[in-house]
Chains A and B, each alone.
Chain A
């Protein structure tokens, strides 16, 4: 289980000493339960990728604490951290650059497995067996892919190889950051289904980072969804609740932006758009979403509302005036 409390990450802004710092993450709390599915959604630059990288140990944090299986990361030495972060593996967005083009798939999977064999005290012939087993698990034919180089495989196959490679070290958590956005549409669902199956069959928990709410729903319908805006969680609850009954206007804008398949769907009656584009350089007082919020009132400029269940909502949210709005597309009557 991964528990993050009050995670803060600030980057120095552009322009030297006079620049304003960029708040990538502001006091983020989250929990990834064993075998659970958690999704982060938000627009580009909201901090969802930074958060994923921190959870994988690829990035440090300035404040708060990250606890992996009961061990607080910031109190551990580098050498003690490594085996902890080994349990958390990342699936990158781009399967075209995530694999070494000069090595065959046999090598790409064989090397980490050789290391793993030494760790586990297994004989050398265990490697080939395990390699075939992992490829079977991700739906690839070992006879076909093992002698090949990455460029000889389709994007979907490459992403399966990337997933197989992540599985070589027996992870407990997979972090998938926009893992299907570069894959052909007809192959995407196969990868999403694979991630779902790995969770149900191996009990691997899944952290799914995306701007595409529909794929987050597919992968983790029974899981939890965090809506992140400018580094802060603005809505969090069960995936179904947040998608079907969002109460924060930012979540509602995100859900409204999903293209409507006219003919079989109709736009939700309350579909809305933000008043203005994101101005990253401006830090408004009070609620960060206020300048773009169609429902902002004067006192929204006051204190930023903390994440809570104001108004007795099922999910947590950070809005002073939570209101349920029907923004998600609905099946068309004549379909």
Chain B
């Protein structure tokens, strides 16, 4: 219903994103192996959502599906991604998609600090981006680029005339964010934005993300393997494991009282700067990859301290309890909460 609003009107209200029943599969050995399996998820307009998971959890695949950009041979086999003002991204093709990628969703890729063209200055590459999206007002585009670069605490003249190797890791990461926001995206997706950075650069990039998110009124998704990064940034947190959302809720609540044994395990396995180190516990086993994800039952049961016989038979349904969603038989039993077959009940409330 927001489809007929002008771009300026849309800026005043952040766009929401609704992922529903999304499955992305990769064919292997005559079978289709789901990297993302029946995921439903809302990005609340104007909020920062954190997506936590280890390698192979499907978090990057899910994020790419938001732009209908799942790399081949991956295939979306079910579900939809609905963005306010755009509609179902998964039904778009060709030029329709081009209008989403960039102007709709700004994407900061994993290792984006290494994804600049080493042979062109940053300014030239920003102009290329504008031209490839049919932007006529290149002068205006450069003005916006200059503003964005200065917003990030960098010297615009220097950055625009620099080549990739002349910028530090933290600076390149910020340039990546400039690229994502240049075409006035309403939704910003950042895949591991601080992974290769040291603590000080990480802290300043996190501050910048918070600031542009607030100042530009964005809906932001931050993907990280680090609960600390998500804890520092996100209003809501989504925990993924083996292609499933295992827990979702308000960040502080999840950190204070994690319900799913995997979230608990991740939190316990983080060495902390204060408190008793002997409380830190390693998670047993290792995260599964596409080939080793258990085919039936709960995907976490092999590493789970609370596993019960039922966990081997069927996949735990989502349990909703006080704004929290988690998929665990044991935690549901102790919560005494209402079990909902699907997350849509929560989305409707």
Identify the A interface with B (CB < 8 A): 43-44, 154-157, 184-190, 192-193, 211-215, 217-218, 221, 243, 253-265, 273-274, 277-278, 328-332, 334-335
CB of A288 to closest CB in B, whole Å:
15
**Set of chain A residues within 8 Å of B281, measured between Cβ atoms:** 189
Q: What's the least CB distance linking A158 to chain B, in Å?
A: 11
Contact of B228 among A217, A261, A328 (CB under 8 A): A261
Report the Cα distance A334→B255, complex, angstroms. 12
Question: Are B280 and A218 neighbours in the complex by a CB distance under 8 Å?
Answer: yes
CA distance A113 to B286 in the complex (A): 28
| Contact for B271 among A211, A214, A328, A329, CB less than 8 A | A214
Contacts of A328 in B (CB 8 A): 273-274
Q: Which residues of B contact A157 (CB under 8 A)?
A: 286
| Measured CA separation A255–B274 after assembly (Å) | 11
CB nearest to A44 among chain B residues: B198
B interface residues, Cβ below 8 angstroms from A? 54-55, 153, 168-171, 197-204, 206-207, 225-229, 231-232, 251-256, 265-267, 269-275, 277, 280-283, 286-287
Nearest-neighbor residue (CB-CB) of B166 within chain A: A14
Report if A274-B200 is in contact (Cβ < 8 Å); known contacts: A156-B286, A184-B55, A328-B273.
Answer: yes
CB neighbours of B200 from chain A (8 A): 43, 253-254, 257, 274
In the assembled complex, the CB of B7 is this many whole angstroms from the nearest CB of chain A, namely 34
- Closest chain B CB from A218 CB (angstroms): 4
21 A–B contacts from the bound complex (CB under 8 Å)? A43-B199, A44-B197, A154-B287, A184-B287, A186-B265, A186-B283, A187-B286, A187-B287, A189-B270, A215-B271, A255-B273, A257-B202, A260-B228, A261-B227, A262-B231, A264-B255, A273-B203, A273-B204, A278-B168, A329-B273, A332-B256
Q: Is there an interface contact between A257 and B199, defined as CB atoms closer than 8 Å?
A: yes
Bound together, the chains give a CA A332 to CA B269 distance in angstroms of 19
- Where chain B touches its partner, the secondary structure class is helix
Rounded to whole Å, the gap between the CB of A248 and the closest CB of chain B is: 14
Residue contact A260 to B231, C-beta cutoff 8 Å: yes
- Contact indicator A43/B201 (Cβ below 8 Å): yes
Q: Min CB distance, B6 to chain A, in Å?
A: 37
B249 CB to closest chain A CB (Å) equals 11
In angstroms, Cα B228 to Cα A258, docked, is: 8
A218 lies within 8 A of B228 (CB):
no
Q: How far is the CB of A49 from chain B (nearest CB, A)?
A: 12
Given contacts A155-B55, A328-B274, 6 further A-B contacts (CB under 8 A): A186-B54, A214-B273, A259-B228, A261-B228, A261-B272, A277-B170
Contact status B280-A189, CB under 8 Å: yes
Whether B272 contacts A214 by the Cβ 8 Å rule is: yes
Roughly how many angstroms separate A259 CA and B227 CA in the complex, as a whole number?
A: 9
Tell me the minimal C-beta distance from B198 to chain A in angstroms. Answer: 4
The CA-CA distance from A1 to B232 in the complex, in Å, is 41
Q: How far is the CA of A215 from the CA of B153 in the complex (A)?
A: 30
**A186, A213, A217 pick with most chain B CB within 10 angstroms:** A186
Residue in contact with A211 in the complex, picked from B171, B198, B280, CB distance below 8 Å? B198
- With a cutoff of 8 Å between Cβ atoms, the chain A residues found around residue B267 in the complex are 261
Indicate which residue in B171, B198, B227, B271 contacts A189 across the interface (CB closer than 8 Å): B271
Q: Complex Cα distance A273/B153, Å?
A: 14
The CA-CA distance from A154 to B287 in the complex, in Å, is 9
Are B269's CB and A213's CB within 8 A? no
Partner of A185, one of B225, B231, B274, B277: B225
Q: Nearest-CB distance from A239 to chain B (Å)?
A: 11
Q: B274 near A330 (CB under 8 angstroms)?
A: yes
Partner of B286, one of A184, A256, A273: A184
A156 to chain B: closest residue by CB: B286
Q: Kindly report which residue of chain B lies nearest to residue A212, judged by CB atoms.
A: B199
A24 to B278: give the CA distance in the assembly, Å: 36
Most-contacted residue by chain A among B255, B271, B274 (CB, 10 A): B271
* A30→B75 CA distance, assembly (Å): 56
A232 to B280, CA, bound (A): 32
Report the bound CA distance from A286 to B200 in whole Å: 23
